Copies of this chain bind each other. A is one copy, B any other.
């Protein structure tokens, strides 16, 4: 779609996701933590839940390191049918249990409307980039009361992304968090091109919080820290970082995962960057 530059037309298109006033900002509350309106949400965890022990141990480590929420994929959306597809229902159980014990709320990705009942103990439901325009899934999620993390499609522009949020909100669920995860360009050195201009752009267009996933965006663990700090400096409402106890042994996306120690250091730096910005703003 072409972006409407006319304010009135824009208001018609983005009825619910669009800003009504420049200061409007939504805060999404998630079992003890919040995202948006000045609240920064730091999500960490493995690409995929691989075993009960893995996720349980990691959850404790991440909680100590400063994470606010635990991520872990159970239903994986993989390009190839021959790749590891996740542990499914069992993986969700391991994740929610690890979250319960560590005291961290949890987030996991959904791939089919029929899975919604399985997500009863999951705190935030993630819609992956490949399903950003799976409108039937969006409508089904719009009928739940769970916060939804909506990742940007690989080639979606800002207007289309907001329209997908609109699909969810229109069904009654306005708890939507947007997540920038890189777009597809001709540059192949990085997995995708992280588009941080999405932060000021979306903060201008919508009241919904916007977080950033530098792990999937860059595909390289050594790029995660600089891009995470950049996202924080550009006004992100949160970050989602892939962490694995032993990245080289990960069953998926190990090349982009941080070790728990590296995540711990990163969490400190992010807080420092955010503090200085708040001081300067104040």
Give CA–CA (A224, B131) in the complex, Å.
Answer: 30
Decide if B184 touches A186 in the complex (CB within 8 Å): yes
Give CA–CA (A280, B225) in the complex, Å.
Answer: 13
Q: Which of A111-165 contact B (CB under 8 A)?
A: 111-113, 130-131, 133-137, 153-155, 157-160, 163
By beta carbon, the residue of chain B nearest A196 is B230
Q: Which residues of chain B are within 8 angstroms of A226 by Cβ–Cβ distance?
A: 196, 199-200, 233-235
Q: Which residues of chain B are within 8 angstroms of A189 by Cβ–Cβ distance?
A: 3, 157-159, 201
Q: Nearest chain B CB to A66's CB is how many angstroms away?
A: 14
Q: Does A21 contact B (CB under 8 A)?
A: no
Q: Nearest chain B CB to A119's CB is how many angstroms away?
A: 15
Decide if A187 touches B194 in the complex (CB within 8 Å): no
Decide if B229 touches A163 in the complex (CB within 8 Å): no
Identify A194's interface contact among B137, B197, B280, CB under 8 A.
B197
Q: Which residues of chain B are within 8 angstroms of A80 by Cβ–Cβ distance?
A: 1, 13, 163, 166
The interface bits of chain A over 191-217 (1 if a CB of B lies within 8 angstroms of the residue's CB, else 0) are 001111101110010000000000001
Q: Does A183 contact B (CB under 8 A)?
A: yes
Decide if A133 touches B130 in the complex (CB within 8 Å): yes
Q: Which residues of chain B are within 8 angstroms of A154 by Cβ–Cβ distance?
A: 153-155
Q: Which residues of chain B are within 8 angstroms of A134 by Cβ–Cβ distance?
A: 130-131, 134, 137
By beta carbon, the residue of chain B nearest A132 is B130
Decide if B193 touches A222 in the complex (CB within 8 Å): no
Q: Does A232 contact B (CB under 8 A)?
A: yes
Binding site for B on A (CB under 8 A): 1-3, 12-13, 15, 77-82, 111-113, 130-131, 133-137, 153-155, 157-160, 163, 166-167, 170, 183-190, 193-197, 199-201, 204, 217-218, 220, 222-223, 226-227, 229-235, 268-269, 272-273, 275-277, 279-280
